[in-house]
Amino acid sequence: MTRRTAILPARGVLMISTDLHGNWDDFAALRARFLAERDAAGSAAHWAILGDAVHGPNPEARARRPDLYDYDDRSAEIVAAILELQRDHPGQVHYVLGNHDHGHVGGRRTAKFYPDEVAALEARCTPQQRADLRALFEPALLAIAAPCGVFLSHGSPDDRLGAFADLDGVRLDPRENDAYRRHLLASILGSYGQRDEVSARLLARVSATAVPVSVVIHGHDRDEEGWFTSGAHQCCPVLFGAPRENRRYVRLDMSSRYHSVADLRDGVELLRVLVDPRRGVAVAPRRRRLWAPANARRTSPAAASRGRARPAPITGRPSTPTFHGAARAARMCALSRRPRIEGPGR
């Protein structure tokens, strides 16, 4: 049985980054940060990559939003470089499977930028590059827990998980799982967010069966501010879908304890990936936000300072994973207030 979970040590430095989607500049900047951390901390430096390293934008998306998507898709090179880091620094670079990755190893194929993104990428790959995709994704983790108080996954899963170790029994081909494990796989790869009480129940179950955790840090979502929080228990640092100057990753001191998202401070734990060397910081442009629905609050710092919040996901029953697309989600939120189901592309 392939192990799909990891528990990190109680000391050292932990970097956490999310969806790269083929962006080499973001990867190279993060790799440089990790190698610098390793020079300082040695084997106590860890990097958790929370999935979706692959599937960059097509020419139409690059032309439509060059501020977000105008970069070459270097997915295969990023996969090879992550594998090299794992060989050079065993046990320190942890890859968590994303829903786009999943299509290359038996999961549903995404269609965000191409009708079949798996086929589109693999058609451009050499035989070795296709083998690299499988070498990274087949043994990938589904979740990480750290004694400093964080639970890491690609999506923000619901509370169906009974015990942390149950994820180790999940197979990547959904047809090989029973109904319970099919649900776990779908929720952990495809959920954009949960009501705060749902995340609290998930964290309580992981705490009871692994190590105490208080915050879900996840990817899978986008925000042009570069990060956002949902309630007291969910935080999403953003690379893909944010302007270059706003992209964030998380850096944690694993000997500390993070009790809620309030302990993740912008400029301290939440750090910009790409910094203007002339100014020392990257200045984020302010963008207009929508009012949040009454059911939940999901905020970025700029939105909070203006009394505004991003529309929050509307979940169904706690046993039902929530899947939705970002732009369509805001429209459906205003129209129906019903659970939102993501399309095949996200």
pLDDT at 276: 53
Q: Give the integer Cα–Cα distance in Å for 45 and 254.
A: 10
> What confidence category does residue 297 fall into, taking pLDDT thresholds of 50, 70 and 90?
very low
Fold exhibited by the domain 5-286: Purple Acid Phosphatase; chain A, domain 2 (3.60.21)
**pLDDT per residue as tens digits for the range 113-155:** 999 999 999 999 999 999 999 999 999 999 999 999 999 999 9
DSSP state of 279: T
Predicted confidence (pLDDT) at residue 292 exceeds the cutoff of 80: no
pLDDT at 317: 34
Burial class (CB in 10 A: 0-12, 13-18, 19+), 251: middle
Q: Determine the Cα angle at 110 with ends 107 and 113, to 5°.
A: 160
Q: Give the integer Cα–Cα distance in Å for 239 and 210.
A: 29
Residue identified by tokens 């439509």 is 64
pLDDT at 321: 37
**pLDDT per residue as tens digits for the range 252-290:** 999 999 999 999 999 999 999 997 544 454 444 333 333
